[in-house]
Chains A and B, each alone.
Chain A
Amino acid sequence: MTVATTNSPAEAETVTALPPDEIIMRAVGMTKLFPGTVALDHVDFNVYRGKVNVLVGENGAGKSTLMKILAGVYQPTEGQLLLEGQPVTIKNPLDAARQGIGIIYQEMNLFPNLNVMENIFMAREMTNGRLVIDKKAQIAQTEALLQRLRQSIKPDDLVADLRIGQQQIVEIAKALAQDARILIMDEPTSALSTAEVEVLFEVINDLKANGVSVIYISHKLDELLQIGDYVTVLRDGRLVDEKPAGQIDVSWIIEQMVGRNPASLFQGRDHEVGDALLRVEDLTLPRVGGGYTVDHVSFTLRQGEILGIYGLMGAGRSELFECLAGVRQGATGRVWLDGEEVTAGTVDGRIKLGMYLVPEDRQRDGLVQTMSVADNMLLPSLRQYLNRFVLSRKKEKEAVTKSIKNLSVKVANPNQLITSLSGGNQQKVVVAKSLLTSPKVLLLDEPSRGIDVAAKSEIFEIMSRLAGEGYGILFISSELKEILAMSDRILVMSKGQITGEFAKATATEEDLVAASAVGHGLANYKNGNGGNSHDPS
C-alpha cells in the first residue's frame, strides 16, 4: 500500500523527462456493441506512463473488451485511441505489437502441441541468417525468462502437459519476451498462488523501473492495491471512477464495482459436520519417468464438511481431484463413498455415484465452446430433463433460468454461445453445471477463478448451503484468505503428499505457507517477503 503513495506524479515526471505528458495511451469515448450487449458505453481510460494501471469491475463489466480494443483484437464501434497524444487506429494484434503494446489474454492463448520455447517465440522466432531458427539462443532466452519467474518449467516441456497455472507463467514469459512498452495483463494471476504472485510483482516492479506501463486486471482485490498506482473502475460497460491507489481501500473498490456495501458479502457460516462421507486410502498416481504425482494420499471427508486443499503450483492437488473423479486411469488406492467402496473407474460412473469435478481449466476441460450457455449448463445432467426419451424443453428451460439466477450469470440470452460470455461468467456456468448434477461430493478445483467478489460470495454461500444439507465439499484454492474463510478443515499438499492438516480455528496463513513449502526450499524466500503481503484490511 505504501508503494502507491510514493509514486506520485512528481516522480513520474522525473522518469519521463522527454514527453511532458504523463499519459502514454488514452481511450476516449470507447463504445463496443456485441449482438444483444453493450459491452462498453463511452468509456474513457488513461494509461499512465511507467505506472501500474489497474482496471476493476464485475464479471462482464467490459474490462477484457476494452483491453482487446487496445490490443487490436476488436475494433471499437465508436471512440478514439490516443497514443502519445496522437490519434491511432490499431488494426490487429500484429499492429499493436509493432506499436509496443503487448497483452496477456485472460483465456490462455498457447499452442498445446508445441513446447514452451516454441510458444514463447511463436511468430517472432530468432533466426540464424533468415531461414533457420536459432534454437540455442531461443532456449537460452527462454531459460532466462523462466528463471526470472522462478519456475522449474523446462523450455522443451510440451504446453499440453502443463497445468493451467504453469501455462499462465508461460503466457507471462511470452509477453515479457516482447519487450513491450505498454503491457496489458488480463487476470494474469487467476491460476497462481500467493508465492507465484509475489514473484510476478517483483517482475512488474522491474518493468516499471524500466519505464514500461502496465495495465493490470484482477479480481483479487488485495493484490490490486498492493501493485497498483491508479485504479479505474468499470460497471456495466461504463466508467465509474478513476483514482490514485493511495487514496482508496478494498471496500471502496467493492462499493464502486458492485454498487452496494461490501458488508453484505457472504463471510462463511457454521454448519454441522457429520459422519464420514468419503474415505480415501493410499491414493497414488505414478508420474511418467519415476516418482509420484499423488503420493499415497489418505484422508476422510465428512458429511457437511468443506475441506480446503492448499498448495503451490504442481503440488498434485488437481491430480488428486482427477483421480477421485475417475479421469486418471493409472491411479491406485481405495475410495469409499457413504461406507461403500467405489468400484466405478470412469468419470461417468463416478458422476452417477455423486462425485462431480469442477475442473480448474475451464477452456480445456470445462466448456464445450461450440455450444450455447444453456447446453453447456445442462450437459452433465441431461437425464433429469427427459420425458421418456425426449428432452423436455420446459424442464431444460426451468433449470437454466434457475441456475442463471442463482449464480447471477450475466447473459443476454441463454442460447448465445458460451464463448461470448465474459471469462468470469463462463466460470459461473462451469460451476452451475456441477450443481445441477446434485452431487454428494463436490470436487471444486479453483471454483472462484476469475470471478468477481460479489459472485464469489454467492458461490461460497452455495457451498455453505450444500454443506449444511449434508453434502461434502472438497475445495482447492490458491488464495489463502479464501481457503481460510471457507474451509472447516484444511489439508496442505506439497510434492504429491499431504504435508499438513489444520482445523479452521487454529490455522494461520503462515502455517499453510510453511506446510506448502515442505520439500521446496522455498520457505526462506517466503519468510523474507511474504509476511506483509496479505495483511490489508
Chain B
Amino acid sequence: MTQANPTVVAKRRLTGLDIQEILLRGRAFIALIVLIVVFSLLNSTFLTPANIVIMAKHVAINAILGIGMTFVILTGGIDLSVGSLVGLAAMIAGGLINEGLVLPMFGVIVYFHVWAIILISLLVGALLGAINGLIITRFNVAPFIATLGMLYAARGLALLRSNGNTFPNLVGRPELGNTGFPILGSGEFLSVNYSIWLMIIFAAVAAFVAAKTPFGRQVYAIGGNERAAELSGVRVKRVKTIVYMISGFCAAMVGLIIASQLVAAHPATGTFFELNAIAAVVLGGTSLSGGRGSIGGTIIGAFVIGVLGDGLIGLGVSSFWQQVIKGAVIVLAVIIDQVQVRMQERAALQRQQQAV
C-alpha cells in the first residue's frame, strides 16, 4: 500500500486481495468515514462549518479523556473515576473564581489569578489520580475497585463543594483580578477553538510519549507482562501511579474546558464520561487486557463516538434510540475489529502463497 515505486504499482493489477487489505488496514478510519458519509447524505446540514465546529468540540472532550484512559488501559488497568474528576475539577475552578479560597484562621479570602486556578485544578486532578495509583500499587487493590471508590468519593466532594448547587457566571471580577476564565472555552486561535487545539496538543504529546520515550515503552511492557517488566528493571509501581496521574490530569483539563464553555460549574458535570472515554479507547483498537493499542486509535475512536452522537441528534433521532444505536455501534465495531484481524492475517498468507 505504501509502494514507493509507481511503476511497480502500475504493473501489479489491483487484485481483490489488495483491496481487501486496504480496507482492513484503515479499519477504524473506515468506520468513521462511513458514518460521515451516511450522516451527510441523510442530513444536509451535517457538514456545515457550524456543525463541524460543534462536533469537534465534543470530540475534543472525549479525546482528551480517552488519551489519559489509553495509558491506564495500556498498563492493563482501568480508570472509572474520570467522569467524577471532571466534575470535581470544574467545581474547584468555579469555587475559586466565585468564592475564592476562604482561610478562616486568618480571616481572609484569597482570590487567585485565572492561570493559578487552572493550575490548581489540574494539580488536584493529578493528585487524585496519584491517590488512585497509590491505592492500586501499594495496597494491591484492583484498579476497577479503587477507581470505582474514587468515582463515588470525587463526585461526593464535587457536590459538597457547593452543597449541590451550581457556580454560575464564572466571569470573575476585575477588581479581584480573576477575569478571563471563559476564554478557555470560547477563545480561538486561527479560528479554531482552544479546546480543539488542546486536544491536538495533548494527542501529539501523548503519542510522542507512548512511542518515543522509555516511559511509554514501559507502559506497554507492564500491560503485556507485569512480572517480566519488573524483572527487566521497570519500576512498575511508579509507572502505574504516573499513568493514573496522567488520567486524572486529563480529566481535570476536561472539567476546566466544560466549565469554561458553560461559564458555570455544575457538580454533576462529567457523569458517565468515563464510559465514553473507555468506548473511545476500545474503538481505537486498544486491548482491554493491556499491552496493545495506540493514542492515534483512541483519537479516531473519539471521533467515531462524537460523530455518531451528534449525527443522531442532527437527524432528530430520539435520545432513547440514540443510546440503543450507540451501544450497538460500539459492540459491532469491536466485533468487526476482531474479524478483521483474522482476515488480515489470512490475506497476508494468501499473498505469500501466491508469491511462492
Contact = CB atoms under 8 A, between A and B. Distances in A.
B224 to A, nearest CB: 4
Nearest to B217: A382
Contact of B233 (A34, A35, A351, A364): A351
Contacts, number: 86
B49 interface: no
A357 B214 CA distance: 20
Interface in A340-378: 346-348, 351-352, 357, 359, 364-371, 375, 378
Interface string B205-239: 00000001110011011011101111111110000
Given A370-B291, A371-B224, A389 B231 contact: no
Nearest to A434: B232
Contacts of A359: 231
A34 B213 CA distance: 31
A370 B231 contact: no
B231 A327 contact: yes
B48 interface: no
A433 interface: yes
Chain B: interface size category: 20 to 34
Contacts of B228: 364-368
A371 B291 CA distance: 8
Interface in B34-74: none
A384 to B, nearest CB: 10
B291 to A, nearest CB: 3
Summarize A's interface: helix, strand, loop or mixed: mixed
Contacts of B218: 379, 382
A122 interface: no
Nearest to B344: A35
Contact of A386 (B214, B233, B292, B349): B214
A201 B235 CA distance: 44
Nearest to A387: B212
Interface string B295-317: 00000000000000000000000
B345 A77 contact: no
Contact of B232 (A34, A38, A433): A433
Contacts of A522: none
A347 B233 contact: yes
Nearest to A348: B233
A378 B217 CA distance: 10
Given A33-B353, A35-B348, A365-B231, A391 B213 contact: yes
Contacts of A33: 349, 352-353, 356
A100 interface: no
B73 to A, nearest CB: 13
A400 to B, nearest CB: 13
Across the A-B interface, give the 5 residue pairs with the lowest CB-CB distance, nearest first: A370-B291, A370-B224, A368-B224, A382-B214, A380-B232
Given A35-B348, A365-B228, 17 more contacts: A33-B352, A33-B353, A33-B356, A35-B345, A35-B352, A36-B352, A364-B225, A367-B225, A368-B228, A370-B287, A370-B290, A378-B217, A379-B232, A386-B214, A391-B213, A391-B217, A433-B232
Interface of B: 212-214, 217-218, 220-221, 223-225, 227-235, 287, 290-292, 345, 348-349, 352-353, 356
Interface of A: 33-36, 38, 77, 325, 327, 346-348, 351-352, 357, 359, 364-371, 375, 378-380, 382-383, 386, 389-391, 433, 437
21 contacts: A33-B352, A33-B356, A35-B348, A325-B231, A347-B231, A347-B233, A348-B234, A364-B225, A366-B231, A368-B221, A368-B224, A368-B225, A369-B224, A378-B217, A379-B217, A380-B232, A383-B214, A386-B214, A389-B213, A391-B212, A391-B213
